[in-house]
């Protein structure tokens, strides 16, 4: 799951370092890696292909919207990933997780609902309720 080839294939265009703290929403494209703290929502710019990764030190206080999410830190909010969510052993989610495909390592915690399917498809959203 977290092997060397996967880490090398994901490009990081933007890095929020471990000592950084960001207040407010973030809209990005490409690859975003969070080692610090974000207080606000994190989402991909409309129509962009992108991926988000959060290290074991990273914390997001808000919702996440990205096609691909690799989480080994903490998200206090909902995650909407149209394609794929990968939760590492130290991942902590306090919110619902909508996903296309999900991978979870032993030790990952979710306090909320798992909602399969494409979260951007209104038909899938109505079935989850």
82 by DSSP, 3-state: which?
strand
Give the Cα separation of 83 and 51 in Å (integer): 10
How sure is the predictor about 124, in pLDDT bands with cuts at 50, 70 and 90? very low
CB atoms within 10 A of CB 54: 26
The domain limits of the chain are: 4-128
pTM of the model: 0.82
* Host H or E run for residue 87: strand 79-87
- Residue 127: per-residue pLDDT: 46
- Residue 123: per-residue pLDDT: 43
Give the Cα separation of 38 and 15 in Å (integer): 12
């Amino acid at each position: 799951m977290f092997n060397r080839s996967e880490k090398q294939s994901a490009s990081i265009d933007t890095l929020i370092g471990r000592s950084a703290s960001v207040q407010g929403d973030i809209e990005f494209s490409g690859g975003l890696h969070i080692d610090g703290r974000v207080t606000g929502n994190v989402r991909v710019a409309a129509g962009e292909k992108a991926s988000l990764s959060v290290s074991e030190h990273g914390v997001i206080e808000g919702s996440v919207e990205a096609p691909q999410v690799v989480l080994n830190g903490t998200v206090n909010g909902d995650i909407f990933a149209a394609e794929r969510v990968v939760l590492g052993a130290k991942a902590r989610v306090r919110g619902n997780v909508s996903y296309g495909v999900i991978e979870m390592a032993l030790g990952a915690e979710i306090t909320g609902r798992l909602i399969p399917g494409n979260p951007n498809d209104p038909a899938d959203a109505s079935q989850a309720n």
